[in-house]
Structure 1
Amino acid sequence: MRPDMTLLAHGGGAGPWKWDVLAVVCWILLLAAAYLGGLRAFSGPRLRSARAGARRLGTVRAACFAGGLLAVAVALLPPLDHAADERLFAHMAQHMVLVVVAAPLLAAGAPGLVVPLTLPPRWRHGLASVRHAARNLPLLRLLYLPVTAWLLHTVVLWFWHLPVPYDLALAVEPVHVIEHLCFLGAAWLLWWHLLTPGRHRIGGPVALLYLFVTMLPAAALGAVLTLARAPLYPLQAAEAAGIGVDPLTDQQLAGLVMWVPADLVYFAVMIALFLRWMGGPAGEDGTAAPPRVPEVPERVPSEEARP
């Protein structure tokens, strides 16, 4: 890797544990602590147990959130993060882990239901009021539509894989951080409509169509990278050539990563949603019981509340 890119892309520190790595670790630990605190509050004022909260929310959902944090760690920490500097193949794998592994697992974990419970009551009620007001404003109501999430996800995916934004993110670390936040945030919103419990969740044939039309732009982008006759990203191509890797072959492998594994994930989720739809109403744990998770748990009994 060229010295100037090393300084720009990863903060210029020595060794694998640099400021950006430590920042990712701190954020993951903070999110894990907030989620556990939310589970404790979700269990009720008498239990105050994260394990009891996980059972009430659904142990599968709690496990999904833990898996989502683990996927974020795999994507943004060494060795994959360091390999992504030199190989487009690894960089694309990093993006796909965020979009089709971490994002759906985090959405399935329903952090929006439990994490706000760690806030003071006044803040929690204020957040609930803001949510209610946002849903009643015509302009902001558009943000809650599945088509908006799909459009945002598609634009983010294609924009950050255009040559200029891609190379800029590779060279400048703050831009790289924004890129990753865009991927994870847009993908989470997309999967939120499918996997997070609530009245917003779509299901049945609409959910299948939603995933199918989501898969098409990603597959098209993967095809562009795979079938291109020349490297599209000059900085990434220079890095690959510097370690003795053919840039075009590296780009073709990256396109296949976006094309094939991502499509397999989408197809797997489509099959699961289809089976759930054919099986009739199901609970959050996949049983025939009704869902145990309230749609909008904006209030939690206080410590002084009597049973």
Structure 2
Amino acid sequence: MPNDEIYCGPAPDLLSLPWRWNFDPVLLAALALLSFALYRHRRDGVHRSYAAAAMAVLLIAFVSPLCALASALFSARVLHHILLVAVAAPLLVLALGRRPWRPRAPHVAFAAHTLLFWLWHSPVAYQFALSSHAAYWLMQLSLLGSAVWLWMVALDQRTSAGNACALLFGTVLQMGMLAALLTFSRGPLYDAHVSTTAAFGLSPLEDQQLAGVLMWVPAAGPYLVAMLWRIRILLSQNSLDRPAS
């Protein structure tokens, strides 16, 4: 694969990494438009704070040297995807606030996100995603879009707490299953990183195992927090509905 086909460029080394910021003008324009749209959508401070946090996460994912590091380390790619689906996506949903229409098809949202998450972490599809800028953005936008759909359903209080918690816990389980496959694989699965990890003191298999640990433990955090939040709201509502003795 020609190095210039990889978005964010070829794999860096330790010396060049701090300088590998991504100032793609199309990306910066798109992020600026998204930021403006979120800012105009809701004028209160709380929602704008969520919007600012979401934009900060997207800047870290796509503009900071993390984008270039993901060309070298699969673990960095997994961290990048965790930021997208488990941090940026719920922040974007919170920034948008309550919608007049009720999110539909929660199980379809879960199935779509699960399918896309597993698809893009399969070796063949992952190699395809690195073959061109268009394929790269197809991967990133489909992951982010399906995650926004999932979080939109899970965080909407018109979705029952049981359904919301089932969606969130199911997502933790499916990510944990994929993480186990990565962690306990007997050999490296991703050809794109076979020759790019040594500069960071890792073998390809160690890099893949680190990716599995990241997907297994830190990635579960936002989903578990959201589950506790939904349960807390449910308990609060039950206590208010309970007649005084």
Is 2:208 the counterpart of 1:251? yes
* Structure 2 residue aligned with 1:74: 60
* Deviation of 1:149 (Å): 0.2
Is 2:177 the counterpart of 1:177? no
Is 2:172 the counterpart of 1:215? yes
* Deviation of 1:76 (Å): 1.3
* Structure 2 residue aligned with 1:94: 80
Is 2:13 the counterpart of 1:8? no
Residue identity matched to 1:228: S
Is 2:49 the counterpart of 1:63? yes
Is 2:193 the counterpart of 1:193? no
Residue identity matched to 1:30: L
Is 2:183 the counterpart of 1:226? yes
Task: Work out the CA distance in 1 between the residues paired with 2:93 and 2:135.
Answer: 25
* Structure 1 residue aligned with 2:25: 22
* Deviation of 1:17 (Å): 5.6
Contact 2:165 2:230 in 1 (8 A): yes
* Structure 1 residue aligned with 2:13: none
For structure 2, the residue ranges without an aligned partner over 5 or more in a row are 11-18, 241-245
SS of the equivalent of 2:237 reads coil
Residue identity matched to 2:153: H
Contact 1:203 1:273 in 2 (8 A): no
Is 2:90 the counterpart of 1:104? yes
Structure 2 length-normalised TM = 0.85
Structure 1 length-normalised TM = 0.69
Is 2:125 the counterpart of 1:165? yes
- Percent same amino acid at aligned positions? 31
Task: Work out the CA distance in 2 between the residues paired with 1:104 and 1:66.
Answer: 13
CA RMSD for the aligned pairs?
2.6
Which of 208-217 and 176-185 deviates more? 208-217
* Structure 2 residue aligned with 1:303: none
Contact 2:155 2:226 in 1 (8 A): no
- Runs of 4+ displaced beyond 3 Å: 15-19, 241-244
* Deviation of 1:31 (Å): 1.0
For structure 1, the residue ranges without an aligned partner over 5 or more in a row are 40-52, 114-127, 136-142, 282-287, 289-307
Matches of residues 96-135 of structure 1 in structure 2 within 5 Å? 96-110=82-96
CA change 1:236–1:171 in 2 (3 A) is: farther
CA change 1:271–1:17 in 2 (3 A) is: closer
Task: Work out the CA distance in 2 between the residues paired with 1:110 and 1:174.
Answer: 27
Give the count of matched residue pairs: 231
Contact 2:109 2:146 in 1 (8 A): yes
SS of the equivalent of 1:70 reads helix
SS of the equivalent of 1:261 reads coil
